[in-house]
């Protein structure tokens, strides 16, 4: 078993100098769990809780300048996983994280807006889903994020709005 897998499963020693990497590695199984839908919902949420406890005080590690592990990023990843699970809690999670995301994180903001569009569609709130999808599309076109545009092309809006925005 390699070190990353051991660390993700909690069986390897965890030196304190690598808090950011540990939190990211703990987050990794959550992405996999989200792919298995509701079967692993509690496992995914537990992994996010574990990762939250490992977040470093400073979200920017000079050794990993490309990786930002502040609370807002873990919150957006949790919201994304919940959205992919069709869980109504995704809306609260993402709505809480969105205003805390730095303005210059446009790619992350775009993904969050796509996740919100899907979450509101799952909650049968057509108006909110459409509003978030439009914002996401505008940003995705601006930054040429074809992945997010593909995700938006798969969005199925409810025929009427029955949710609360």
What is the residue-level pLDDT of the chain in tens, covering all 165 positions?
Answer: 334 434 444 444 444 444 544 444 444 444 444 455 556 777 777 777 777 776 667 666 677 666 666 678 888 888 998 888 888 899 999 999 999 998 999 999 999 999 999 999 999 999 999 999 999 999 999 999 999 999 999 999 998 766 654
- Domain shared by 65 and 117, yes or no: no
| Domain presence at residue 26 | yes
Q: Identify the H or E element spanning 82.
A: helix 71-84
pTM above the 0.75 mark? no
| Domain presence at residue 149 | yes
Return the biggest CA–CA distance within the chain: 53
- Domain shared by 106 and 147, yes or no: yes
How many structural domains does the chain have? 2
- Domain shared by 65 and 132, yes or no: no
- Domain shared by 45 and 115, yes or no: no
Per the structure, the complete domain to which residue 112 belongs is given by 91-165
Angle, nearest 10°, between helix axes 71-84 and 41-53? 180
Task: Give the domain-ending residue among 13, 38, 69.
Answer: 69
* Residue 87, pLDDT score: 86
- Domain shared by 152 and 98, yes or no: yes
- Domain shared by 102 and 44, yes or no: no
């Amino acid at each position: 078993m390699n070190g990353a897998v051991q660390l993700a499963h909690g069986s390897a020693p965890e030196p304190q100098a690598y808090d950011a990497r540990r939190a990211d590695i703990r987050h990794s199984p959550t992405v996999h769990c989200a792919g298995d839908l509701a079967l692993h919902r509690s496992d995914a949420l537990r992994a996010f809780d574990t990762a939250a406890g490992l977040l470093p005080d400073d979200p920017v590690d000079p050794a990993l300048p490309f990786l930002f592990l502040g609370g807002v990023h873990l919150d957006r990843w949790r919201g994304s996983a919940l959205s992919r699970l069709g869980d109504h809690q995704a809306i609260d999670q993402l709505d809480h994280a969105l205003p805390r995301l730095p303005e210059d994180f446009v790619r992350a903001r775009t993904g969050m807006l796509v996740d919100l569009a899907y979450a509101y569609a799952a909650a049968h709130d057509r108006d909110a889903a459409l509003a978030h999808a439009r914002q996401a599309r505008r940003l995705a076109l601006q930054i040429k994020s074809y992945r997010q545009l593909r995700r938006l092309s798969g969005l199925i809006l409810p025929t009427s709005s029955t949710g609360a925005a």
